[in-house]
């Protein structure tokens, strides 16, 4: 599969024995929306509910932290995702959370994964079928081979900034990046990491929710001051939309891109980390 698949491609491939469709919708708590309830009400036929809200490390004080290997493997087996599957993620989230699922699965060693371009909204707009309910699944064997090449810790990010060995790309809105808009949690400072560039994740999409591609996409990175010839570390508020920018870079053929999972929730709450205010 390509990194992105079209709604027409998915419609034609539905029913293939090795194809698994996965709803990776996630909403921030303040949105007041229940992704699992919305999945039960309407989803692409045969789709599984990933439930990113629960697919986290429950022992971490940070939001949306990657789950332990054992938890990830157990969850995939319970979903009926097994070895040899082709997996297509979609979402119905303003944060395009299929990208988070795509990155997570790649990190845990699953190679044959793609994102449905335009997500559930495009599928619905085209009048394609939906189903409701919460199906049960047969457990299948799922092999995990975690590779942390695309994951960065706070210390690794600090080292990269000090050595100027990678470009830091912040996916948050411009107002949060500059510090003009304060963080909602009082224990988190405003601003951004020194030397970071700002590429708001929302800019990577067309009006219909499909991904920008080719030179139009490349121009967004260049306009933001990002050197595509250097390694990149993406960051955001809690590691969700950082995956959107990481996937956008992957669409441009970049493989030397990693994600800072703690993101600003960790960096901004640490009084010892360096912080900058204003535009890049």
- For 149-267, give the CATH class: alpha beta
Q: Which residues are catalytic?
A: 236
Q: Which fold has domain 4-146?
A: Oxidized Rhodanese; domain 1 (3.40.250)
Q: What is the pLDDT of residue 165?
A: 98
Reference 56, options 96, 26, 32, 31; nearest CA is 26
Q: How far, in whole angstroms, is CA 251 from its chain's centroid? A: 14
Extract the tokens encoding 223: 């306009």
Q: What is the mean pLDDT of the chain?
A: 96
- pLDDT tens for 252-280 read 999 999 999 999 999 999 999 999 999 98
- Helical (H) or strand (E) element with 220: helix 214-223
Where does the chain hold its CATH 3.40.250.10 domain(s)?
Answer: 4-146, 149-267
pLDDT for 158-169, tens place per residue? 999 999 999 999
Phi and psi for 49 in degrees, rounded to 5? -100, 110
Taking the C-alpha atoms of residue 243 and residue 222, their distance in angstroms, rounded to an integer, is: 18
Could you tell me the pTM of the whole model?
0.97
Report pLDDT digits (tens) over 18-49: 999 999 999 998 899 999 999 999 999 999 99
């Amino acid at each position: 599969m390509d990194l992105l698949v079209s709604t027409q491609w998915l419609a034609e491939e539905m029913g293939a024995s090795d194809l698994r469709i996965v709803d990776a919708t996630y909403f921030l708590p303040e949105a007041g929306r229940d992704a699992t309830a919305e999945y039960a009400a309407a989803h692409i036929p045969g789709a599984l509910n990933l439930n990113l809200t629960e697919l986290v490390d429950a022992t971490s004080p940070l939001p949306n932290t990657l789950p332990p290997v054992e938890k990830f493997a157990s969850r995939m087996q319970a979903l009926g995702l097994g070895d040899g599957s082709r997996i297509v993620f979609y979402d119905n989230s303003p944060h395009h959370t299929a990208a988070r699922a795509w990155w997570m699965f790649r990190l845990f060693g699953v190679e044959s994964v793609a994102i449905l371009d335009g997500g559930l909204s495009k599928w619905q707009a085209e009048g394609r079928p939906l189903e409701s309910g919460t199906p049960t699944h047969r457990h299948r064997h799922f092999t995990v081979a975690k590779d942390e090449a695309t994951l960065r810790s706070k210390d690794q990010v600090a080292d990269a900034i000090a050595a100027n060995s990678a470009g830091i790309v912040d996916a948050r809105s411009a107002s949060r990046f500059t510090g003009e808009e304060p963080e909602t949690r009082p224990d988190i400072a405003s601003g951004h990491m020194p030397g970071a560039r700002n590429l708001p994740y929302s800019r990577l999409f067309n009006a219909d929710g499909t991904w920008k591609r080719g030179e139009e996409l490349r121009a967004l990175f260049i306009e933001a001051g990002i050197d595509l010839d250097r390694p990149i570390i993406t960051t955001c508020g809690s590691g969700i939309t950082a995956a959107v920018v990481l996937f956008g870079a992957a669409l441009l053929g970049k493989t030397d891109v990693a994600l800072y999972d703690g993101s600003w929730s960790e960096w901004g709450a640490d009084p010892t980390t360096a912080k900058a205010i204003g535009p890049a």
